[in-house]
Amino acid sequence: MRAPATLELAAAGLLVGLLLGVPTGVLAALRRGRVADYAVTATNAVLMSVPNFWAGIALILVFALGLALLPPSGRIPVAADPARALVFLLLPAVTLGLHIAAIFSRFTRTALLEVLGEPYIRTAQAKGLGQGAVVLRHGFRNALIPVVTVFGLQAGYLLGGAVVVESVFAWPGLGRLIVEAIGNRDYTTVQGALLVFVTAFFLVNLATDVAYAWIDPRIRLGAAGRRR
Amino acid sequence: MAAGRVGLPLALGILVLGLVAPWVAPYGPLEMHPGQELRPPSRTYFLGSDEFGRDILSRVIHGARISLLVGLVSVAIGMLAGGTLGLAAGYWGGVVETLATRLADCLLSFPAIILGIAVAAVLGPGAVNAAIAVGIVNVPTFTRLTWSSVLVEKEKEYVLGAECLGASDPRLVGQHILPNVLGPLLVQAAIASAQAILLEASLSFLGLGAQPPEPSWGAMLNDARQFLREAPWYGVFPGLALSALLLGLNLTADAIRDALDPRLARA
């Protein structure tokens, strides 16, 4: 019952993190040492330090109470009304996503800088490829490996962060269920919900390992040296 | 390097402010002023007052003490328990090693906050219990780190030399191996303290850590949620203090890491 709400929030948070983090990381790497790079790096340092529950409170203060643009709390199931569901999802998703956005941004920047120093990038440029093709097809794809690793590591943050963010926005997910159950001394529910969380964490880590092979064909799981 | 120059003074400044809180805070953290509830920031209440007419500035300053306490206690627990387990596992190997590393793997398979919530739920609420919960979350990282460092150190010649001179097990571990694995442990302690303070604040925010009327930043933010419309300043300042402290600690940890690993600093 509660799991879909948490899943929805975690997926949306991840999406926000990717959409904000990866482009800013690429931008910072391409503009290395310039104003844009410093701006992105400094913003990342701040975003990584702001606790998600306070980010949530700050966003509520600005967007829900100050500007009255978005609802401060609650959830509407996507099936009931997709447009309104998105409106309710926006603030919690951004709250959850900001921290991962900073981490994705930082790792994308580092990975891309490292890759752009490789000889095959010079080869691609020497072939006369445009800057866009070089960065995207040759640079970015190879920079993806560490970014995927980070995703695996952040899966725990996504799930754990969801617990806290759900409490801020009265989001009816598994996390709030745990907190409420602890308040009611309902330990069976706590155990069950914890089990679901840890299983999910496990599955995401497994999926991450599989994703390596998909992104980098040189990494093959199991049977060694099998060719495509 | 510039990051460390900003970060260290920021973190130390807030922590020192917490240490001298009773002398610098304008009011006591629990001192209520009836009739002065939820006042906006003014000359008398620099950062406003809360729902019991308590001065928010005084509570924010005193809140640093709780963060400091939790940070110290939990990192000490993690380092002592994790370090001992790691030393034993790395030095003796065999069953001890299997047990200790498997235990660490087991604990590491929980996301930190989930494990914190589980332990806090078992121990019951309170600042000290939150510190213990956070400490337990810290144990596996210290175990693995110590274990892997000991594995490297114990193969070195100086250990063999000491052994040949007839040094006993406790002497080998305590006098020779421990001082040489301490470096990475201290770096990890700096990193872990920021995570510990964040975790305590999160637990307190969820109502599982420090309890009212204790002036914990997380608990204050939890209370502030009911008054966001009437008293937005109540929801702003405790979070600002917490974010500033975490930023300071994170920048310091980054600077330490860069200083110890010149390869990373270039990237």
Reduce the secondary structure of B200-223 to three states and give it as a string. HHHHHHCCCCCCCCCCCHHHHHHH
Residue B49, helix vs strand vs coil: strand
Q: Does A41 contact B at CB distance below 8 Å? A: no
Span A184-191, average pLDDT = 84
Which pLDDT belongs to residue B75?
92
Task: Tell me which residue of A4, A7, A6 sits closest to A169, measured CA to CA.
Answer: A6
Percent of chain B predicted with pLDDT > 70: 96
B256-260: which pairs have CB atoms within 8 A and are 24 or more residues apart?
B256/B4, B256/B187, B256/B190, B257/B187, B257/B191, B258/B1, B258/B4, B259/B1, B259/B4, B260/B183, B260/B187
Which pLDDT belongs to residue A65?
76
To which H or E segment does residue A228 belong? none
Whole-angstrom distance, CA of residue A88 vs CA of residue B145: 43
Helix axes B178-205, B56-92, angle to 10 degrees: 140
Q: Which of residues 55-114 of B touch A (CB under 8 A)?
A: 109-114
Longest dimension (CA), chain A: 67
Residues 6+ apart with CB under 8 A from B16: none
Residue B120 in contact with residue B208, Cβ under 8 Å?
Answer: yes
Cα Rg of chain B (Å, integer)? 22
Ranges of chain B with pLDDT below 70: 1-4, 261-267
- Asked, as a colleague might, if the bond just before A72 is cis with ω within 30 of 0, I would say no
Please give the structure tokens belonging to residue A99: 């921290």
Helix axes B178-205, B217-224, angle to 10 degrees: 20
For residue A191, the Cα-to-chain-centroid distance in whole angstroms is 26
Residues of A in contact with B114 (CB under 8 A): 156, 159-160, 163, 194, 197-198, 201
pLDDT per residue as tens digits for the range A16-35 = 888 888 888 888 888 888 88
To which H or E segment does residue B66 belong? helix B56-92
Task: Tell me which residue of A183, A176, A157 sits closest to A6, measured CA to CA.
Answer: A176
Residue B100 in contact with residue B151, Cβ under 8 Å?
Answer: no
Which pLDDT belongs to residue B36?
73
Beta bridge partners of B55: B49
Kindly report the nearest CA distance between residue B7 and chain A, in angstroms.
11
CA angle B120, B121, B127 (to 5 degrees): 35
Whole-angstrom distance, CA of residue A121 vs CA of residue A192: 50
Please give the structure tokens belonging to residue A17: 């993190």
Residues of B in contact with A51 (CB under 8 A): 198, 201-202, 205, 239, 242-243, 246
CB–CB of A160 and B112 under 8 A? yes
Residues of A in contact with B113 (CB under 8 A): 160-161, 163-164
Instruction: List, in sequence order, the alpha helices (H) in A134-186.
Output: 141-168, 174-183
Which pLDDT belongs to residue A107?
86
| ipTM for the assembly | 0.79
CB–CB of A58 and B236 under 8 A? yes
Which pLDDT belongs to residue B142?
92
Which pLDDT belongs to residue A168?
84
At position A221, the amino acid (one-letter code) is: L
Whole-angstrom distance, CA of residue A34 vs CA of residue B91: 49
Which residue from A minimizes the CA distance to B199? A51
Read off the pTM.
Answer: 0.84
CB–CB of B114 and A159 under 8 A? yes
Whole-angstrom distance, CA of residue B146 vs CA of residue B162: 20
Best probe of the A interface among B206, B211, B242, B266, by most A CBs < 10 A, is B206
Is A41 a residue whose pLDDT tops 70? yes
Give CA torsion, residues A116, A122, A128, A133, to 10 deg.
-20
Residue B260 in contact with residue B4, Cβ under 8 Å?
Answer: no
Which pLDDT belongs to residue B143?
92
Whole-angstrom distance, CA of residue A227 vs CA of residue A220: 9
Whole-angstrom distance, CA of residue A65 vs CA of residue A82: 23
Residues of A in contact with B224 (CB under 8 A): 57
Residues 6+ apart with CB under 8 A from B88: B96, B100
Whole-angstrom distance, CA of residue A165 vs CA of residue A176: 9
Is A195 a residue whose pLDDT tops 90? no
Which pLDDT belongs to residue A227?
44
pLDDT per residue as tens digits for the range A47-91 = 888 888 888 888 888 887 778 777 777 777 777 777 777 777 878
pLDDT per residue as tens digits for the range A95-154 = 888 888 898 898 888 888 888 777 887 787 788 777 777 777 777 777 777 777 777 777
CB–CB of B235 and A58 under 8 A? yes
Residues of A in contact with B117 (CB under 8 A): 163, 178-179, 182
Residues of B in contact with A154 (CB under 8 A): none
Which pLDDT belongs to residue B263?
55
Whose tokens are 């260290």? That residue is B8
Q: Does A197 contact B at CB distance below 8 Å? A: yes
Whose tokens are 């199931």? That residue is A77
Helix axes B112-123, A141-168, angle to 10 degrees: 30
Whole-angstrom distance, CA of residue B248 vs CA of residue B67: 13
Q: Does A183 contact B at CB distance below 8 Å? A: yes
